[in-house]
Amino acid sequence: MAADANFNHASLIFIGAATAGNNMTTYINKAAAQGDNFGGITAFGDMANAGSATFVTEGGIFPDSRTVGGYMEFDNSASAGTATLITGGGTFFKAGGGEVAFFFGSPTAANATIINNPGEAERAQGGILEFEYSSTAGHAVITNNGASIDGAFGGSTTFEGPSRADHSTLIANGGSNGGGGGVILFGGGSFGDFARVEVFGNGTLDVENVGGSSGLTIGSLEGDGRVSMGGGPLIVGSNNLSTVFGGMIFDSSFGGGALIKMGRGTLSLITPNTYTGDTIVWEGTLAVRNQHGSPTGTGSVSVKGGNLIGRGIIAGSVVIGTNNGRSSAVLSPGNNPANPQTLTIQSDLTFNMGSTYTCDLNSDSTFADKVVAAGVLIVGDAQISLNDAGSAMLPLGTAFIVLENSSANPISGTFSNLADGSTITVGSNTFQASYEGGDGNDLTLTVE
């Protein structure tokens, strides 16, 4: 479809219960003139359905930021069905991209495949997908591709309140050769629901406009891209998937919100991050695996339930459990009993009531898990759980430092099941505990 000689826009409109069927392929062409112009328009209204057809909205072709490409619109209770929707980027300097908009009423992207392609010239916009009002992304797979031309913008998907990401998969791919990455943006009042979010390279998940105490909940986070935090918390884990994120989480100009882990899955952070908000674990597992920098940023880490595991470095204070003793929070260095690890906390560590320090030994290799912290406080009925992955009988006097206190102060308190000077049998060996071991203020276990 294209505009006529007078630059009137060609239109294709589905209303009522109309469907685009299964074999239709429609190109919604580029803008026909420079200035305030769109290309062709396709609209689905009422309860119309895009079926499994393919629609391509191409980008603007003139060097003018007011010139955009083709345009699709879903209104009322319309559905994208299982259609394939492809938006093209602008092809000239400043030219706009093709656009698919879901708004007015409660339309859904259903099970569609949506691809937002990048701009094809310097400062040209990529394809755009917008969810507004009460629209929902359903179970759609939405890919925002990065640009391969210096200065061009990637494709983008935006959620404005109170639209919902629902159970969709949202992907932001990185650009190359100086091109911008794809963008997934949540505005104030929008909902991430159970969406699987994947960001790569300089592709970005942008939640900087999401403020307030409720923040934004998403199903999961993975990839090696960028996450721009806002004033409210980012809550990850509602879809219970286990994922690995190896990108950068950083504060936006709106400040730094908290990162909150919920759900039964594991979120593994494997690279340093710079966000300044707190990190809170309510459910499941937060795993840190890094050798340089802090994957939990510079803020404190609070494990109110679930598990904190891993090796490497945490910059902020760490609190395991709650002060009401009702949690089942666990701290466990490493995550492989046969291969003990060291977790270094550059600030203080507190074990609250109801918490557990799970420490694995390997008598075969004479190594043990260790936590290093700049001050240790053990409160109430906090416990230590010791396990031996080996079977060797160790020589008398063999010692393991399982809590290394790097501050000058002594450890405050003892684990309720491991008093100072008491003995405990683990595997084939009996150990004596000392909270004054090592350099005088560490928790050591020495074979008797």
For each of the chain's 448 residues, which pLDDT tens digit applies? 444 433 445 678 898 999 998 877 776 655 544 555 556 788 999 999 999 999 988 876 655 555 566 789 999 999 999 999 999 887 777 667 778 888 888 999 999 999 999 999 898 889 999 999 999 999 999 999 999 999 999 999 999 989 999 999 999 999 999 999 999 999 989 999 999 999 999 999 999 777 667 899 999 999 999 999 987 899 999 999 999 999 999 998 877 889 999 999 999 999 999 999 999 999 999 999 987 899 999 999 999 999 999 999 999 999 999 987 666 899 999 878 889 999 999 999 999 999 999 999 999 999 999 999 999 999 989 999 999 999 999 999 999 999 999 999 999 999 999 999 999 999 999 999 999 999 999 999 999 9
Interatomic CA distance for residues 380 and 387, integer angstroms: 22
Distance in angstroms (rounded) separating the CA atoms of residues 389 and 398: 17
For the chain, the straight-line distance linking the first and the last C-alpha, in angstroms and rounded, comes to 85
Q: What is the total residue count of the chain?
A: 448
CA angle 415, 417, 423 (to 5 degrees): 105
Is the Cα torsion angle 77, 78, 80, 81 positive or negative in sign? Answer: positive
Whole-model pTM: value is 0.93
pLDDT reported for residue 231: 78
For residue 446, give the 3-state DSSP assignment. strand
CA 116 remoteness from chain centre: 21
Distance CA 306, CA 286 (A): 8
CB 290 within 8 A of CB 314: no
Which residue from 190, 219, 193, 224 is spatially nearest to 207, judged by alpha carbons? 190
Residues 6+ apart with CB under 8 A from 292: 272, 312, 313
Q: Which amino acid is at 11?
A: S
d(CA 85, CA 38): 18
pLDDT at 250: 96
Name every residue whose Cβ is closer than 8 Å to that of residue 198 and which is 6 or more positions away in sequence.
Answer: 169, 170, 171, 172, 222, 223, 225
Rounded CA separation 148/175 (Å): 6
Q: What is the DSSP string of 39-92?
A: --EEEE-TT-B-TT-EEEEPPP-SS-TTB---EEEEEET-B-TT-EEEEPPPSS
Q: How many angstroms separate the CA atoms of 331 and 327, rounded?
A: 12
Could you tell me the sign of the dihedral formed by the alpha carbons of 388, 389, 393, 396, in that order? negative
Q: What is the largest CA-CA distance in the chain?
A: 95
What is the Cα gyration radius of the chain?
A: 27
Closest listed residue to residue 53, CA positions, set 7, 84, 78, 74: 84
Tell me how far apart the alpha carbons of residues 252 and 275 are, in angstroms, rounded to a whole number.
9
CB contact at 8 A, 309 and 290: no
Query: Token digits for 30?
Result: 């580029």
